Each structure stands twice: as structure tokens, then as C-alpha cells.
Amino acid sequence: MSPPLLRATPPRTTAVRAIGVLEGARTRPARGAVRIAATGAGAVAARRNTAQVASFSSAASRPRGEAADIIYPSCSAVGEGHIRNSDSAGFLGPGSPSRRLPKQTVLANPFGLSWRKHLKSSLEKQNTALLSRSLSTASPKMYTTSFAFFEALWDAGVTHCFVNLGSDHPSIIEAMVKGAREKKDRFPRIITCPNEMVAMSMADGYARLTGKPQCVIVHVDVGTQGLGAAVHNSGTGRAPVLLFAGLSPFTQEGEMRGSRTEFIHWVQDVPDQKQIVAQYCRYVAELKTGHNVKQMVNRALQFAKSDPQGPVYLCGAREVMEMDIEPYEIRQDKWKPVQLGGLPSSAAEEIAEALANAKEPLVITGYAGRNHAVPPALVELANTVKGLRVLDTGGSDMCFPADHPGWIGVRYGNEDSIRNADVILVLDCDVPWIPTQCKPRQDAKVFHIDVDPLKQIMPLFYIEAESRYRADVLTSVEQLTARIKSDESLKAKLAGEESEKRWKALESSHKERLERIAAAAQPLENGEFGTGHLCAKLRELCPEDTIWAVEAVTNTGFVHDNIQAKIPGSWINCGGGGLGWSGGGALGIKLASDHEAQLKGGKGKFVVQIVGDGTYLFSVPGSVYWISKRYNIPVLTIILNNKGWNAPRKSLLLVHPDGLGSKATNEEINISFDPVPDYAGIAKAAAGGDVFAARVDKAGELEGVLKKAIEAVQGGQTAVLDCKVALGC
Ligand SMILES: Cc1ncc(C[n+]2csc(CCOP(=O)(O)OP(=O)(O)O)c2C)c(N)n1
Ligand SMILES: [Mg+2]
């Protein structure tokens, strides 16, 4: 076993803490040493002080020749702890002389007293002075790390905090109350979230619509784990979210305000809490002092907002968050995120030429529409390169409008246009094709432009491409269009007869595509209906500028085909693989839409969540509909009830098309939800009865029920419709 690792950061009064630790080492049965690691400018002093103490300790308690090597010993116990500067513990803020530690807490001369005597006197004095403070009620004037943290959020444009609180948050709670009282309209709005995944999905939905990261506050390691698949979703789906979690207190004798006061503080003290989420985050860090909390918040937000955007995680122990500091401000306008540029001009020239000379040019995308200026820019490119088509293989954002003849819609990496294209431009996309199902032809020229062309967190990713660029898609697309429009020979080529013919062909294939979709969306002869029909009706009945939050799994293609989104930002899909996003996601989107509209004196848009029945259960509806009711966030939820999980059967058939499972029932392969839960009833119960809840299984009743549900939502009441859908249409 390796020794306990003690970190000193920075070390002004480290020796006192080291004594406490060393006493622990002395009393361990094997008399093993502890190891102390100190960093930064404080390291030397920490080592000097602790080494003095160590040699004192070893002289007092060990046989000769067995002195403890404090820094790198052969030790007998493991663990990880922290030595921190008492300055970071809430008492030595520069502006708080009255809160200074008593002088004797600094170990002036440890050799002048016997070990035990010294310890006793030092710790007793310290404890008498501090224990009462550690439990004392804060003065109303106090300005803590936590309060500065919220100020930093607000100043950086974070208007909402989705919180799930715990014993790590006393100073957070104090700060929230103080903020609500003293900084009305200049303090983030707090939304209580009974489940962390819902909290983070709300922040995620908010960010996907607006590009503005919000904050999620959770409880130590357990709350961090409760974020669950939402961390994956925002990491994969490029949604900026700032996560904050407390850490268990690192003192237990009342040495500082925030010191341990509850049983659970021992149990929740884990070696490295950040690591729970680190691989999904753009940045993780521990707040070690309140003095730079605003810079740390802004550094985290800089990562979250720089491409590829994503989640960031800060944590801070109770003592650090309790620390009194001098109020301060930073120059907010100096903290903008990193900006990406466009293509090198030689690349713009090469790609523009390839597109203009192509017979079957194709754009494949996934996230490009996150920037709402991209769809019109792509339309402009497609109007310039006549015959260019756009395929969406992610379905994460509305990237190209359904009423343009170049629209192909969403297909997950398997589409004829991929097989036929001679020039393919991949734009902000994770999975342009799935090689075991579909590949570009051998002679196709592929160019890849992405904010993350290497897919830095994917161990396996590659596509064969002429070239790849880390560049901003909007700038790049505008460059390409401008290049083609300004080059006489390319212009002449695209104004030719062949190009005109291609445009006509595109128009008629688009018309046929829409007719095929409409024909497939008819109700079945037995009166039942599929997802396609349901979504065609939704498109007909919902407001034109509705925002669709979609998590429809195997029905995504039918939903996309029939919703036919045209407005940038009007289609939002999770982009990740952690089911359950859309419950919180839809609420976050609605909240964002309302909030942003109110700022301009307008009204938020109508928001519809379309979700698989299995996914609905993943979304923690007990929390979602309580929040919806509590904060008056009305959405329409459409549950695609196909009696369970269809996806695992599809996955099975791709690998074992003739296997045992291929002929087995849904019950046998364990994907059936029978008996069928009362999905809408779950929502109604969570909202204390105040939800429009209904079930539809016949096409004849669909329109009537949809109209009532839409009306309810427009009147401010959330509606949940459990719709029985037939498979495969
Ligand atoms: C958190 C999480 N757990 C499990 C899965 C694996 N999974 C992928 S699709 C699926 C079924 C989804 O069911 P449903 O929402 O009913 O959609 P359907 O397959 O019926 O279209 C499951 C369990 C996942 N992606 N995420
Ligand atoms: Mg299902």
C-alpha cells in the first residue's frame, strides 16, 4: 500500500495541519509514515515545516534508524488527504482582520516544546478559537467564495442554476438567499431539480437553443454520479454546461468554517471526485481558494464555450466555499472564448473547384445547424452549386430546410447519396457513414471541415479524406460560396446547361421524396397509425415555429421526414447516446425560449418533445413533470408507444440476422414493456394532477386529442400524450 498523499496548497500554516496528520501516523499500529506532497511556491515551505515536524515526530516515537521520510517514504498506510492553507479556509481574507487566526496557530518553534505538549497546546488553542467559528452563523455582511461564485456566473451571462443540494452547500444556500434579497434581477434564477440528470439535461437544452451555458449545482461525488448519461450527452452533443459540485470538508476538528459536522462527510470523501466526469469534460478543476473564484469560473466557461463546446466541471470543498474574501470584480469583456477561423485560402480554392466540377456533390452534416446562421449559408451554397444535396447523419440540429430541393433529411450513415456522390463535403459531423453498411465510392473526393476533425475523445475514428480542417463551418461555407461566385470559370460552369438540368432533376426528386413520405404516413387499414402519420398531424396542427425536442430512437427517420423542419434552431436532438435527455432537454429549451423572448418583450415558442416509450422512462418523468409544474414550463410530450425497446432487436438483426433471437418474441429477447405502464399517468402524478394526460391508439381520435393537448399547452398546462404507434411507418 502506498502512503497517504497530503497536498499543501499553499502552505503558510501547513505545519499545524501536518502535526495533526503526523499524530495520525504515529498512532497507526505499524507506525508508518505519511507522505506529503506540496505544490507551487508553497511546496518548499510546506516541506520544510513538515520535515521539521517529521523529524521531531520520528525522534520522539521511533527507534533509531526508522525515521519517517515525510516526502517519499516507504509507508504503511494509504489514503489521500489535503493540507491547505488556513487562509483558504475562510478566516484570513485580506479584508477581514477580525477573522485572523490567533498567532499561536503558526508553528513558531516546534522544537521548544515536547511533541505532545506542543500538539496539545497548539490544537487546543486553535480549536477553542475556531470550533465556535466553524459553527457560528455568518454575519449578513459576509462575502464568501460561494457568493462571488454566483456573481461570477451572473456577470458571465449565466442566468439559471439548476440545483440539487446537499451537505456540501451551506455557503451556497447562504449565498442564494443573500443574492435573492440583495441582488434582485442581478443574480441567477435557481431551479430546484429533484434529479441531477434532469437538471443537467435542462441546462443542456437551454444551451443548445441559445448557445449560452447555464450552471448545474450538485452534491459531491454522489450528485456528480447522478448526472449520469447527461454528461455524456452534453460532451458528445457539444452543449456547453458548467457543472459545480461541493467536496467533503477537508478538516474535521472545527479548524475552519465549513469543517466536518456530519457523518456523511467521511463517507463521501473520495480520492479524486473530478475523475468521475473528467473524460467527458472540456475542463475539470478544484477551486482551492476564493481569491480567484471568478477567474476560475470564467476559465471554465471559456473552455465550455470554445469549440468543440461541452461540459466543464468545478468542485470546491466546504471550507473553500465558506471562505470570506474581499469583494472583487474582473473585466468580463476580457474573457471571451477562443474563436476559430475559416479555411486557408488554398483549401477554399481546392474545395470550391471540386464542388463546382462535381456531378453528384453532397454535403454530410450533423451539428452544423447549431449555429443558426449555417442553414441559410448552406442554402446559399446549394443555390450556387446547383445539384448539391445535404444529408444529415446526426439529426442533432436543423441543418438544412426541408423545403429546399437539396434536402435529403436524416439517415444514420446509410443512404444512396453517400454511395453515389463524387465529391463529399463533411461538415461538423461525427458519423458521416457506417462502413459496414454504406461507403462512398472509391474515387469520391472527401473533404472534412469540423471544429473537432480528429474527434479527440474517440479512440477509433477515421474517414479517408483528401484533407481535413479544424475550422468554423459558417466561415468556411461562406468562403466557399464567395469563392465560387467570384471565380469566372467556375461561375460559367455552374451557369451552364448541365447545371440547369441537375437543378430540375433535383426538384423533381425532392417532390417525389415528399410524395413518398406522405404516402407512407397514411393510417393503417385497421385504424391504427404509425409515427409518420402522427408527426405529419403534429406538423399540421402545431404552430409553424414550434421547436421539436426529439429523442425518437428507431423512429427518428419517420419523425424527421414528417416534421420537415425549416426554421434554424427548430429541431433539437440529443446528439449523444444517453437516453433520457429530452425530458429535461425540452424543459430547458422552453425555459430558454421564454426567457430570451421575455428579454425582448415577446413570448416563448411552443415546444414539443417526441420521445420513445423506453426513453421516456429513462428521462425520469417523476422529476420532469414536477419541475414543469413548479416553474410553469408548459411543453407537449408525445410518447411513441411501441410497447418497449425496438432498438435492441434492430441491433441484434444487424449482427445475427438469422440467429435464435431473430425468430424470438419481444418477451423472449427481453425488450417488451408488457404490462404497458400508464405513461401519461406518471406525469400527472408528478405534477400533482395538473397535466393534460391522454392516450390515443386510433387514427380517428388522433386529431381531436392533439388539438385539445395543444390548446392545453398554449393555455399554460403541460400535456402528455401516450400514442400507440405501429412499427415501421
Ligand atoms: C442510458 C441508456 N441506457 C441504455 C441504452 C441502450 N438503448 C439504446 S436504444 C434503447 C431502447 C430505446 O427504447 P425506446 O425509447 O422505446 O425506442 P425504440 O427502440 O422503441 O424506438 C436502449 C435501451 C442507451 N442508449 N442509453
Ligand atoms: Mg419503444
CB 531 within 8 A of CB 729: yes
462 & 594 share domain: no
Order the strands of the 80-84 sheet from edge to edge. Answer: 35-38, 5-9, 80-84
The dihedrals phi and psi of 215, each to the nearest 5 degrees, come to: -110, 145
Query: pLDDT of 32-66, one tens digit each?
Result: 444 444 443 334 334 434 433 333 333 333 333 33
C-alpha cell at 618: 429513462
Domain-located, residue 685: yes
441 & 498 share domain: yes
415 is in which domain, residue-wise?
Answer: 345-511
pLDDT at residue 139 in the model: 55
**How many domains are there within the chain?**
4
Q: Of 135, 166, 197, which closes a domain?
A: 135
Substitution site in 550, 553, 555, 670 for ligand 1 pocket (most atoms within 8 Å of beta carbon): 553
Domain-located, residue 140: no
Domain-located, residue 695: yes
542 & 596 share domain: yes
Q: Of 300, 334, 368, which closes a domain?
A: 334
Distance CA 518, CA 69 (A): 78
DSSP string, 220-249: HHHHHHHTTHHHHHHHHTT--EEEEEEE--
Q: Which ligand is closest to the CA of 641, given by its number?
A: 2
Q: Considering only CA atoms, which residue is closest to atom 9 of ligand 1?
A: 647
Question: For ligand 1, what atom is nearest to the CA of residue 580?
Answer: 1
Ligand 2 mean position, distance from CA 609 (Å)? 15
Ligand 1 mean position, distance from CA 553 (Å)? 7
CATH number at residue 352: 3.40.50.1220
Ligand 1 mean position, distance from CA 612 (Å)? 8
CB 676 within 8 A of CB 640: no
Domain-located, residue 399: yes
Q: Considering only CA atoms, which residue is closest to atom 11 of ligand 1?
A: 645
Ligand 2 mean position, distance from CA 611 (Å)? 9
Task: Kindly list the protein residues whose Cβ atom lies closer than 6 A to any atom of ligand 1.
Answer: 229, 553-555, 577-579, 612-615, 618, 642, 645-647
Q: Considering only CA atoms, which residue is closest to atom 4 of ligand 1?
A: 579
Query: pLDDT of 500-556, one tens digit each?
Result: 999 999 999 999 999 999 999 999 999 999 999 999 999 999 999 999 999 999 999
**HSE of 156, CA atoms in CB hemisphere, 13 A:** 32
Q: Which amino acid is at 464?
A: E
184 & 238 share domain: yes
Distance CA 645, CA 672 (A): 6
CATH number at residue 545: 3.40.50.970
Domain-located, residue 521: no
Query: pLDDT of 487-513, one tens digit each?
Result: 999 999 898 888 899 999 999 999 999
Selection from 58, 69, 73, 91 nearest residue 3 by Cα: 73
Distance CA 713, CA 717 (A): 5
Instruction: Report the 10 Å Cβ neighbour count for 205.
Output: 32
484 & 561 share domain: no
| Coil, helix or strand at residue 545 | coil
10-residue mean pLDDT profile of the chain (729 residues): values are: 39 38 39 42 40 36 35 35 40 35 36 46 50 51 94 98 97 97 95 98 98 98 98 97 98 97 97 98 98 98 98 98 97 96 97 96 97 98 96 93 97 95 98 97 98 96 97 98 95 89 95 97 97 98 98 97 97 95 98 97 97 98 98 98 97 97 96 97 98 98 98 98 97
Substitution site in 615, 617, 670 for ligand 1 pocket (most atoms within 8 Å of beta carbon): 615
Distance CA 370, CA 282 (A): 18
366 & 494 share domain: yes
Q: Of 269, 302, 334, which closes a domain?
A: 334
Ligand 2 mean position, distance from CA 645 (Å)? 4
| Coil, helix or strand at residue 604 | coil
398 & 380 share domain: yes
Question: For ligand 1, what atom is nearest to the CA of residue 616?
Answer: 15
573 & 710 share domain: yes
The dihedrals phi and psi of 660, each to the nearest 5 degrees, come to: -60, -45
198 & 71 share domain: no
User: Which residue carries 447523419 as its cell?
Assistant: 393
Ligand 1 mean position, distance from CA 581 (Å)? 11
Domain-located, residue 303: yes
Distance CA 332, CA 156 (A): 7
Q: Which ligand is closest to the CA of 555, given by its number?
A: 1
30 & 51 share domain: yes
Domain-located, residue 517: no
716 & 583 share domain: yes
670 & 538 share domain: yes
Ligand 2 mean position, distance from CA 575 (Å)? 18
C-alpha cell at 669: 429477447
Question: For ligand 1, what atom is nearest to the CA of residue 642?
Answer: 20
Domain-located, residue 340: no
DSSP code, position 203:
H
